[in-house]
């Protein structure tokens, strides 16, 4: 495992997109995880950020984030389908093969498993013509899906080749979930792994999880759950996951620091993780789903 397997996330850095891309590239990263705000908030319109990403030479790890998609009905569902289509179009324009979709927090969403499965199947079908894969993530404050295991059951039942999971270490840690939860997941259905840690032992409430997630995450190796993060990465590696990692680090302090300094911390984190799973640089075993054989 080396830095080529990691995308640094633009949400960690302050400033304009071009400066973020430069800092990420100069820190030695070859991938970047992009956010819709990078596109729609760009003063040069939508074409300029697409051009900037292409000219940076950085590969795009993924594009985030579609929120509150599943479980709605009527006009709310139609509205979210429009949002999803716009996100997919941006995702394609940026050259991203992965769109991140978080479990719904909407009070208007049903928890009916059949509806959630059906809606994610629809999202996956919308993404097929663009060649985009949907990575479904259990937000630890999701209304009906807040645990990785719950998200996996829905992805498994939906059974769509371009629908998989995003495993986010923060949400696993914030719930105190045993990392053994990934043992039940088919490795080829993990489309992205997002890594981060935080600086206190526990998040005691839903509000605490939200606040910590949005403001106080740190890079792996910098927090107090290094053992658990390490165990999770080793477990994923052992089970055959060979996809990309990104650093999902929302941190208010990092947004006040010079970009090269933050990017250097991200690079240090890569080194820390690579030390845990150094043998990943060996040729990867190719995982072929049974249905595709």
Question: Which residues form the interface with another protein (CB under 8 A)?
Answer: 85, 121-126, 128-129, 131, 160-162, 289, 291-292
Determine contact, residues 164/134, Cβ cutoff 8 Å.
Answer: yes
Which residue, 160 or 267, has its beta carbon nearer to another protein?
160
Task: State whether residue 272 is helix, strand or coil.
Answer: helix
* Residue 121 or 226 having the CB closest to another protein: 121
Give CA separation, 204 vs 139, 209, 222, 250, in Å. Answer: 15, 7, 21, 19
Residues in the chain: 293
CB of 97 to another protein, least distance (A): 10
> Closest separation between CB of residue 228 and another protein, Å?
33
Report the nearest approach of another protein to the CB of residue 289 (Å): 8
User: Looking at the DSSP assignment, which residues form a beta bridge with residue 165?
Assistant: 136, 190
Our CB check for another protein shows the closer of 85 and 255 to be 85
Q: How many CB atoms lie within 10 A of CB 268?
A: 15
Q: How far is the CB of 160 from another protein (least distance, A)?
A: 6
Q: Select 29 or 63, whichever has its Cβ closest to another protein.
A: 63
Give the dihedral sign, CA 146/160/100/29.
Answer: positive
- Smallest gap from residue 83 Cβ to another protein (A): 14
Nearer Cβ to another protein (88/270): 88
Question: What long-range pairs does 253-258 form, CB within 8 A, spacing at least 24?
Answer: 254/12, 254/13, 254/14, 255/12, 255/13, 255/14, 256/14, 257/14
Question: Closest separation between CB of residue 85 and another protein, Å?
Answer: 7
Mode of pairing for the β-strands spanning 245-247 and 190-195 = parallel
Closest approach of another protein to the CB of residue 82, in Å: 11
Phi, psi of 224 (to 5 degrees): -100, 5
Compute CA distances 200 → 208, 216, 248, whole Å: 11, 9, 17
């Amino acid at each position: 495992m080396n830095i080529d397997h990691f995308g640094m996330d633009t949400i960690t850095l302050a400033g304009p997109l071009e400066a973020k891309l430069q800092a990420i590239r100069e820190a030695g990263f070859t991938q970047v995880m992009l956010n819709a705000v990078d596109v729609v908030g760009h003063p040069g319109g939508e074409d300029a950020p697409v051009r900037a990403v292409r000219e940076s030479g950085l590969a795009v790890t993924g594009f985030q984030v579609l929120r509150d998609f599943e479980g709605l009905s009527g006009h709310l569902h139609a509205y979210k389908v429009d949002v999803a289509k716009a996100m997919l179009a941006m995702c394609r324009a940026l050259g991203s093969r992965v769109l991140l979709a978080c479990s719904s927090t909407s009070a208007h969403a049903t928890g009916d498993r059949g509806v959630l499965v059906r809606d994610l199947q629809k999202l996956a079908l919308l993404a097929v013509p663009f060649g985009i894969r949907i990575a479904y993530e259990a937000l630890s404050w999701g209304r009906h899906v807040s645990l990785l295991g719950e998200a996996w059951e829905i992805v498994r039942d939906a059974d769509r080749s371009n629908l998989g999971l995003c495993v986010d270490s923060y949400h696993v840690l914030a719930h105190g979930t045993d990392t053994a939860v990934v043992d039940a997941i088919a490795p080829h259905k993990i489309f992205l792994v997002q890594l981060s840690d935080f600086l206190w032992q526990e998040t005691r409430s839903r509000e605490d999880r939200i606040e910590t997630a949005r403001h106080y995450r740190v890079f792996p190796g910098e927090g107090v759950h290094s053992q658990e993060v390490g165990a999770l990465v080793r477990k994923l590696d052992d089970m055959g996951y060979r996809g990309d990692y990104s650093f999902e680090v929302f941190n208010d302090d990092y947004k006040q620091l010079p970009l090269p300094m933050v990017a250097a911390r991200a690079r240090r984190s890569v080194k820390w993780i690579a030390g845990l799973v150094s043998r990943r640089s060996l040729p990867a075993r190719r995982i072929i789903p049974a249905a595709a054989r």
